[in-house]
Chain A
Amino acid sequence: MPANPPGLELAYAFSVSIFFKERLRIDSPRGRVFVPAASGEVWGPRLQGKVVPRSGADYAAGGQLDAHYMLEASDGSPIYIHNRGYLRPHDGVARPDVPMTSNSGPWLADMPLYFRLAPTFDAPEGPHDWLTRSVILGTGKRYGNPDHTIFTYYEVL
């Protein structure tokens, strides 16, 4: 192995809140879920704006997040996000048997999770097109009352 592998730097870019009102599980061989985004906000040094209400959902299957939403930057630019990643209990932590339904309250809130994302974006050519040519990594945190997730995104420099 190389004595001194090259390092990699991350720079905090922005955060996204997404609020949820329902969850639907399809009892299929792939274990598909449908979790639409009701609304949300975008803030941070590199992007500000909002989640376009009812513009998409997580269609996770096979234990992998597969969420597609539209964001709108504060200058009006439409931005597409494809949020791929994993949400699981941290190693050694048992996952509680919380049914993923609309009545399950703060689903997986307040427990240690490995909730990590490698999203891809599409954005118009212009001030936001860096999102289409830099790898972005993220971490998610679950909250209840109201039911929402906050995603924190970093640019891989």
Chain B
Amino acid sequence: MADDTHRAAEPLSLEYAFTMTLVFGPPRLMKTPRGGRVFAPVMEGQITGPRLTGRIMPETGADFGTVRRDGVEDLHARFMLQADDGTDIYVQHTGYVREDGYIRLTPFFDVDRASPHAWLNNTILVARGEPSEDGLVLTYFAVK
């Protein structure tokens, strides 16, 4: 068993990484045995910040979330990014969209391991979402 010296909570801290704006197209909703299947196409978007600048490649993906019986959406959004230096970046997110306005996501990235963005391949990040007029603004933080 762990001794008492192990029992103090290890600290965890976040560092602002970048901000992504997403523009959604018209959403579709299907009633399926697994809940309400959302299809919300991501039309375009921009990325700015200290750790990444670039854009969302237009019409490369969507949120394919599921609305549960308690009204919470299990978000599952995947699409392609392109950094300003031309590097292709695949991202998939999971997270929650709650009726009280809580939007929090965790992204997982696939990037060329020889690129300057390879840190995204093995770093945990978290994003908070705020609705915008035509989509979402996501603020990403790296877990240090």
Contacts and interface: CB of A to CB of B under 8 A. Distances in A.
Interface of A: 1-2, 5-6, 8, 10, 12, 15, 17, 41, 43-44, 63-64, 84-86, 88, 114, 116-118, 120, 125, 129, 132-135, 137-139, 141, 143, 148, 150, 152, 154, 156
B10 A8 contact: no
A141 B10 contact: yes
Interface residues on B, range: 35 or more
A122 B32 CA distance: 20
Interface of B: 1-2, 6-7, 9-14, 16, 18-19, 48-50, 70, 72, 94-96, 98, 102, 104-106, 108, 121-124, 126, 128, 130, 139, 141, 143
Contacts of B94: 120
A11 B141 CA distance: 15
A50 B6 CA distance: 16
B19 A5 contact: yes
B9 to A, nearest CB: 5
Nearest to B95: A135
A148 B12 contact: no
Contact of B124 (A15, A118, A133, A152): A118
Nearest to B17: A5
Contacts, number: 96
Of B6, B10, B18, which is in contact with the most chain A CB atoms at under 10 Å from its CB?
B10
Contacts of A10: 12-14
Main secondary structure, interface of A, reads strand
Contact of A44 (B9, B48, B105): B9
B92 to A, nearest CB: 11
B19 A2 contact: yes
B19 A116 contact: no
A116 B130 CA distance: 25
A134 B16 contact: no
Nearest to B96: A133
B124 A137 contact: yes
B96 A8 contact: no
Given A133-B98, A139-B143, A148-B2, 12 more contacts: A1-B19, A1-B48, A2-B48, A10-B14, A17-B1, A64-B108, A85-B124, A116-B124, A118-B106, A118-B126, A135-B106, A137-B126
A120 B72 CA distance: 14
A119 to B, nearest CB: 9
A143 B96 CA distance: 33
B104 A156 contact: yes
B122 A154 contact: no
- Across the A-B interface, give the 4 residue pairs with the lowest CB-CB distance, nearest first: A118-B106, A135-B104, A116-B124, A152-B10
